[in-house]
Amino acid sequence: MRLKKYFYVVRPALALQWLREKGGAPPMDLPGLLAGVAPPLAALEALEHLRVAKRDSSELGEGVRIAALDDYIEEQAAWAIEAKPRAPVEDAALIERTNALFRAAVRDELG
């Protein structure tokens, strides 16, 4: 996998941890997030290794998945899914009327 992709996913994972622990709007930058939350040591070490590799090279290239980061990302995503507000109870009659209107519009369009 392209190792650069970890940076695209770790920042939102850190932002989720920020929301869980601190509430309020998290910083948008990686250093700001890392200053405010403490991911597990293994994930932090793996991320630092990637940051050093990126700094020392113009491109990270490809490599094997990093289990410590994968686990951290999955943990934060699971929390977000569980913490997500539940959708309001569906109005079955409204859904049926909307579907009927859509079907009628498609029938009219198709002739």
Rounded Cα gap, residues 56 and 50, in angstroms: 10
In the predicted structure, residue 69 carries a pLDDT above the cut 90: yes
Q: What is the pLDDT of residues 40-53, one digit of tens each?
A: 999 999 999 999 98
Q: Residue 70's pLDDT is what? A: 95
- Asked if residue 69 lies in contact with residue 47, where contact means CB atoms within 8 angstroms, the answer is yes
* Mean pLDDT of the region 4-31: 93
Percent of the chain clearing pLDDT 70 (strictly above): 95
Q: Residue 91's pLDDT is what? A: 83
